Amino acid sequence: MRRVIPPTNPIVRNAFPLLVFFLAAIFSGVWEKMPFLASFHVLTLLGGVALIVVGLGGRLPVLLRNPIAQSLVVFTAWLIICIPFAFWPGGSFALMQDVWSRAFLAFLLVAGCVLTVDQAKTIFKTIGYSVGVLSITALVLRGVDKTGRLGLLGTRYEDANDFAWTLILGFCFLTFLIVRGSRSQKLIALLLSATILLALVKTGSRGGMIGLGMLGLVGFFQSSRAVRIKLAFAIPVLLVLLYAAASPELRGRYTTLFGSGEDYTGRYLGAEERLKAAATDSANTRWSLLRDSIYLTLRHPVLGVGPKNFMPAQNELAISRGQSRGEWRETHNTYTQISSEMGIVGLVIYLVFLYQCFKSLNSIVRSRYPGKEWDDLRAVAKSLRAALVVVQTIAFFDSYGYDPNITILAGLACALSLIAQRHRALLTAPPQVTLTSLHFNGDSQWTTSARQ
């Protein structure tokens, strides 16, 4: 009998509960709604402790040999190189210190602490359930902005688009539990999915609804024929229910994805028309920002205008055209955000990073190794791949280049890649031995220490 035992360092094993708590606190939004607790920066301290634990456990050298981690390190290095040449270096440095450092930390924590498929499933459940709690909290508190769009005020989910982005991510993980979870997990996932979808439609996020549609397409094409038939009936019913749940004002917003030729100036507007006018203006502004981001990319093709510097650079560009001021908004497109702020070189590195994530997951999904562990691994990888497709589709409609949600998904992809390597090492081991441990040598190969 042969079996693969994951890295057995007790330091690393004991860090996993810290990771679960860390992710639950972040995705539920509960911690941020408690200013007294948030003032102690407990999450930052826990993240630092967990990272030290991962380092002491010897996982960092293993991670840094993985192509996903290597491409992320290169992206981070290029971000640092761009800072001194930025339009406003202070803004780039603040981004590195306050945003990207935490996103990179999240990658290391997830990739370093997730050692088994069961732990990956636990992360799926943690994120899915936590986002479900987030949706319930927002619905109960009725935190809407001046245009009537739902968010969780006073937290990182205050912006309706950011809120919708996270809701979609949680819904992706809950669909995995609906399909492959236990009976109780399926029931909980169904109930939380209903609250997430209700909250999602109340955000008025057009990118979020496109992401939901993409998830439906991915699920349809990845499913068996029997499931496709069920989805063909279920999806139209779901769309009708979501349409009925949206207010008349939000329904009007969803019809203005690409702008509108209607002129709202010079006349009195009711509540529904005001929201539709704001949505139309937002859509038109997105096109203008997209053009400016492409222009700034071509004008600064190597280093860009600097990380987190698009807004001041666009303001200067607008003034040079004779306008009184710029839009002072992000690009609303992740890919042109990266290209305009870190140059075409930065965009290429970012795309290579995403490619490595999909390459690792595709390798697992397309494997044909027998056994329950491989079946579970393929199912988890397929679900994670779908989540990446969905969030990277939404990324065309907002600025998420430095968002930790991406690095958390990448950390999971890296962890699954390492788990798959251990399983492949088992298949190449002599049949007469029992594997007691697996070691990662300097040649980036898994070797075995065995007992006859």
Q: At 439, is the pLDDT very low, low, confident or very high (cuts 50, 70, 90)?
A: very low
pLDDT at 283 over 70: no
Q: Which residue has the higher pLDDT, 1 or 221?
A: 221
Write out the residue range of the structural domain in which residue 78 sits.
Answer: 10-256+273-451
In the predicted model, is pLDDT for residue 69 greater than 80? Answer: yes
Asked if 423 and 374 count as a contact pair (C-beta separation under 8 A), the reply is yes
pLDDT at residue 292 tops 70: yes
d(CA 409, CA 395): 14
Decide which of 86 and 424 is more confident.
Answer: 86
User: Whole-angstrom Cα distance, residue 4 to residue 286?
Assistant: 51
- Hey, what amino acid is at 184? S
Are the C-beta atoms of 308 and 95 separated by less than 8 Å? Answer: yes
* Average pLDDT of the chain, as a whole number: 82
Q: Which residue has the higher pLDDT, 258 or 202?
A: 202
pLDDT of amino acid 60? 83
Is residue 203 within 8 A of residue 148, CB to CB? The reply is no
How far apart are the C-alpha atoms of 451 and 57, rounded to whole Å? Answer: 24
Question: In this predicted structure, what is the pLDDT of residue 452?
Answer: 32
Q: Is 2 a domain residue?
A: no
What domain count does the chain have? Answer: 1
Per-residue pLDDT of 175-185, as tens digits, reads: 999 988 889 99
Q: Is the pLDDT of residue 61 over 90?
A: no
Residue with more model confidence, 239 or 445: 239
Task: Indicate whether 28 belongs to any domain.
Answer: yes
Distance of CA 144 to the CA centre of its chain: 23
pLDDT on residue 102: 85
pLDDT score of 430? 63
In a domain, 100, yes or no: yes
Asked if residue 265 is part of any domain, the answer here is no
268 pLDDT band (50/70/90 cuts)?
A: very low
User: Does 263 reside within a domain?
Assistant: no
On whether residue 268 sits in a domain, the answer given is no
* Inter-CA distances, 16 with 20, 116, 164, Å: 6, 11, 28
406 inside domain: yes
Return the higher-pLDDT residue of 378 and 1: 378
Q: Give the residue-averaged pLDDT of 189-198.
A: 93
pLDDT digits (tens, 9 = 90+) for 202-242: 888 888 888 888 888 888 887 777 777 877 777 778 777 77
Note whether 254 and 209 are within 8 A (CB). yes
Confirm whether 108 is domain-assigned.
yes
Q: Residue 157 in contact with residue 29, Cβ under 8 Å?
A: yes
